[in-house]
Amino acid sequence: MKASNRVFNFFTFLMAIVPAVVLISIIVFVLYYSIPSIRYNSWSFFTTYLWNPGFQFQAPIMKHGVLAPAGSAFGLDLFLIGTLSTSALAILIAFPVSFLISLNVELYLPSKIKKVMISMIELFAGIPSVVYGLWGIVVLEPLLFRNVEPWMAQHLTFIPGFGGEIYSGAGLIASGIILSFMIIPIVTSIIVNSFDTVPMDVKDGLFSLGATKWEVGKYLMTSYSRASTVGGTLLGLGRALGETMAVLMVSGAVTNILPHNFYSAINTMAAAIASLLDSAFTDSTGMNLAALAELAIVLMLISLTVSLIGRKIAGRGVLRGYESD
């Protein structure tokens, strides 16, 4: 083998491990920067919901061998609740919608416009998240605040958490709806792809036995695509957990106040990192920055685990939904 070829092969090898190097260095560096916070907060990071940056103009205190602003305390519970509940609501909306759309596209829709419809659903993934946030602020929030939430607070009081005061429209419901728009294309294209793998002759056999389209969908298609449906939903969940900007704009981005009904303002881990990083720079001890790094590590742990499980179940899945051709 020629030397130039060997050099070329070595170079391609170096480039192939770039993603691994990047991922590992992200984990290692963020973990390294969060060490002061891990030592300072220890377990209380996971047991309290208060996020107190401390007094910046008092002498810093020494605790567990690290310097921190006096009176500072950091806990992620509020953000964790927000992340989990917004993502759960997003999945709750996105899964049935995606499933019905896939069923419609596969069975009921004329095959001529099938591709056009899928492409249109995929455009949901192409809208930048700040544009979703903008639309959420000017259209969705007023709509929820004036029309939807008053009705819910009046008529759905028998469900715990649905009664009580309405605040501004920003919060769990708005965040969940916008997140669901972002993940519907992902889940839909994974389910449609798995529906496409159902062998034609089995499908035709079932039709010739007199089965209706719904029965073919219910008994045949779902049994073929159960794994990819679950996996695709998990991949969508992984994306919802890490979404930042849209949620930051429509969640209310609250700190230190626990939500007490479904209309309260909330905050998520990703949005909290984005909104609190600015003020963390002013902390001369660096503890605020370290606490945000720890928050980032926990967020990354959750979202990578969910995505890895989803990938294991669904295969490699799709990236965002719109490269399925």
43-102: which residues touch other proteins (CB under 8 A)?
96-97, 100-101
Least CB distance from residue 99 to other proteins, whole Å?
Answer: 9
- Binding characters for other proteins, 179-208, by CB under 8 A (x = yes): --x--x------------------------
**Which one among 15, 59, 200, 209 touches other proteins, defined by CB under 8 A?**
15
**Which one among 109, 148, 153, 230 touches other proteins, defined by CB under 8 A?**
109
Least CB distance from residue 144 to other proteins, whole Å?
Answer: 14
**Which one among 13, 43, 57, 158 touches other proteins, defined by CB under 8 A?**
13
Return the structure tokens found at 139: 């259209």
Segment near other proteins (CB under 8 A), from 60-68, 148-156, 157-165, 307-315? 307-315
Residue 134 binds other proteins (CB under 8 A)? yes
Return the structure tokens found at 302: 């959750």
Q: With contact defined as beta carbons under 8 Å apart, do 10 and 39 qualify?
A: no
Least CB distance from residue 162 to other proteins, whole Å?
Answer: 23
Residue 104 binds other proteins (CB under 8 A)? yes
Residue 230 binds other proteins (CB under 8 A)? no
Residue 117 binds other proteins (CB under 8 A)? yes
Instruction: Let me know the angle formed at the C-alpha of 76 by 75 and 77, rounded to the nearest 5 degrees.
Output: 100
Q: By CB under 8 A, how many residues form the interface with other proteins?
A: 90
Which ranges of the chain does DSSP label H, i.e. alpha helix? 3-16, 18-41, 44-47, 77-103, 111-126, 129-135, 141-143, 149-155, 172-196, 200-208, 213-215, 222-242, 245-250, 269-280, 287-314
Residue 307 binds other proteins (CB under 8 A)? yes
For the chain, the first-to-last Cα distance in angstroms comes to 38
**Which one among 79, 124, 195, 263 touches other proteins, defined by CB under 8 A?**
124
**Which one among 70, 138, 202, 258 touches other proteins, defined by CB under 8 A?**
138
DSSP string, 44-98: HHHH---EE--BTTSPPEEETTEEE-BT-EE--HHHHHHHHHHHHHHHHHHHHHH
* Residue 74 CB partners (closer than 8 Å, separation 6+): 37, 40, 41, 45, 48, 50, 51, 52, 291, 294
Distance in angstroms (rounded) separating the CA atoms of residues 234 and 209: 35
Distance in angstroms (rounded) separating the CA atoms of residues 116 and 285: 55
Least CB distance from residue 288 to other proteins, whole Å?
Answer: 12
Residue 113 binds other proteins (CB under 8 A)? no
Cα atoms in the 13 Å half-sphere on the side-chain side of 283: 25
Residue 111 binds other proteins (CB under 8 A)? no
Least CB distance from residue 56 to other proteins, whole Å?
Answer: 19
